[in-house]
Amino acid sequence: MGSGVSELAELLELLHGARDRSRTVRATIREWHHGERSSRAFKRHVQESKATAYTEARTVGEDSPPEAWESLTRLWVEKPARIREERENPHWERLLVIRDGERWWSYSPQMGVRSNEADPGVRSGAGQLSEHHLDPASLIAALDFEVLGRRIFAGRPALEVRATPRLSAEAMPAHALFLLGHGGDEFRLLVDRERGVLLRTEARLEGQPFLVREALEVSFDEDFPWETFAFVPHAGESVRPPRVPSLRPVSIEEAARLAPFTVFIPKRVPAGWGMDVRYLHPEERPPVSASVAIWYRPPDATHVISLGERAADESRPSVHAPTREVERRGRRVFVWTPEKESAQEHPRIWLDLEGTRIELGTDLDLETLLEIADSLAPAPTEPLRLSE
């Protein structure tokens, strides 16, 4: 028993003081995800924590996503606040992020160069990957620990640890286990016995891993050349502000005039419900298609009907699996309903209408939603004018 207590004390001391045991860190980190298990774990987290609604989506006709995938991150950290991350993923594009104090820059082929130089109030996500790995003290309050043994990993002496959530999902701080794996019911950790950093984390659900982050190599207290944290854009690349396009409020008539597709609205909605309309301007970089979002709500906001619209030829219909296809007035309609009654998931339908792809959702019943879809008609482009 004494040995177990001493090992646990050693572990807690290592975790608590990890951030102060190195001046610089350089590491190559492998990240592994299992798609289906990750999805189940996150759904479990949402349900148990009563978090914001989450619904999984797929695309009609799209090949099934890979069962598992990996990514690689090269990391340089110079304390107190200089970070460089180079991320590679076979399914997404390369990403470079550099942070030097409050200033940051990012580059990817799709997004181009973005920086907060002209908008310093915008923070960067640079360094999130290393947050728990290099300063894991916050995990002490979130997890119960059991030291399983000692081993060598990535050339470093390590404690092998089993950890389980200390608090209920609802009581757990929102981001306490974000980087370890939301929804995990068990975690396996390898803790560096000299530095206290996490060399490896493995999130498990029902005994099976769904998210692994591990250092393939790691070194401490090196001196980095100045250019490590300097950003020089490629020739022809201009530095753009950090804020990405967002939906802006418009009238339904303005949305109908701006959109490069026909905007549809229902002829019939419950009496007294108000309309909220937003328009998203198209962008070349990142590639963003024009879209219109419409919500109908009663004065007390107890219910909602939502419509999302974009040009049908710009993307395939995104639907929630599993769906069924029905025919309404000669139109093909894809229908999705939750497996069971839930405060977080509600019926949704999709259809293409005269070149417009329309997604409708509501917290009312499915038949009401289908009736709304039956009544869709082109929105006016000019305000209604009363005759004298």
Distances (CA, A) of 280 to 194, 246, 336, 351: 51, 6, 25, 20
Query: Which amino acid is residue 231, in one-letter code?
Result: F
Q: Which of 190, 213, 240 is the last residue of a domain?
A: 240
Residues 262 and 226 placed together within one structural domain of the fold = no
Residue range of the domain that includes 6? 2-240
Tokens of 256: 């109908």
The better pLDDT of the pair 329, 77 is held by 77
Residue 52 has pLDDT above 50, yes or no: no
Which pTM value belongs to this model?
A: 0.69
pLDDT at 172: 66
Q: In the chain, how many domains are there?
A: 2
The better pLDDT of the pair 12, 57 is held by 12
**Of 198, 157, 147, which is closest to residue 18 (Cα–Cα)?**
198
Residues 111 and 220 placed together within one structural domain of the fold = yes
φ and ψ of 42, to 5 deg: -70, -40
The Cα 361–Cα 344 span in angstroms is: 12
Residues 186 and 270 placed together within one structural domain of the fold = no
388 in a structural domain: no
Q: Burial of 229 by CB count in 10 Å (0-12 exposed, 13-18 middle, 19+ buried)?
A: buried
Residues 146 and 83 placed together within one structural domain of the fold = yes
CB 204 within 8 Å of CB 82: no
387 in a structural domain: no
Residues 149 and 9 placed together within one structural domain of the fold = yes
Residues 199 and 133 placed together within one structural domain of the fold = yes
Residues 236 and 284 placed together within one structural domain of the fold = no
CATH code: domain of residue 168:
2.50.20.10
Residues 196 and 272 placed together within one structural domain of the fold = no
386 in a structural domain: no
The Cα 27–Cα 30 span in angstroms is: 10
CATH code: domain of residue 272:
3.40.1000
Residues 233 and 350 placed together within one structural domain of the fold = no
131 in a structural domain: yes
Instruction: Kindly report, residue by residue over 275-312, the tens digit of the pLDDT.
Output: 999 999 887 777 788 999 999 999 988 889 999 999 98
Residues 273 and 213 placed together within one structural domain of the fold = no
CB 204 within 8 Å of CB 34: no
385 in a structural domain: no
Percent of the chain with pLDDT over 90: 44
Report residue 65's pLDDT band, with 50, 70 and 90 as the boundaries: low
Average pLDDT, the chain: 84
Give helix then strand counts, H and E, for the chain: 7, 24
The Cα 323–Cα 348 span in angstroms is: 10
Neighbours of 45 (CB within 10 A): 19
> Concatenated DSSP letters for 119-173?
-TTS---TTHHHHHHH-GGGHHHHEEEEEEEEEEETTEEEEEEEEEESS-TTTS-
Residues 159 and 292 placed together within one structural domain of the fold = no
51 in a structural domain: yes
Cis bond leading into 80, ω under 30°? yes
9 in a structural domain: yes
Q: Which of 213, 240, 267 is the last residue of a domain?
A: 240
Residues 256 and 224 placed together within one structural domain of the fold = no
Instruction: Kindly report, residue by residue over 92-132, the tens digit of the pLDDT.
Output: 668 899 998 888 898 888 778 888 887 777 776 666 777 77
**Of 136, 131, 130, which is closest to residue 191 (Cα–Cα)?**
136
CB 261 within 8 Å of CB 310: yes
54 in a structural domain: yes
**Of 263, 262, 298, which is closest to residue 277 (Cα–Cα)?**
263
pLDDT at 281: 85
Q: Which of 240, 262, 294 is the last residue of a domain?
A: 240
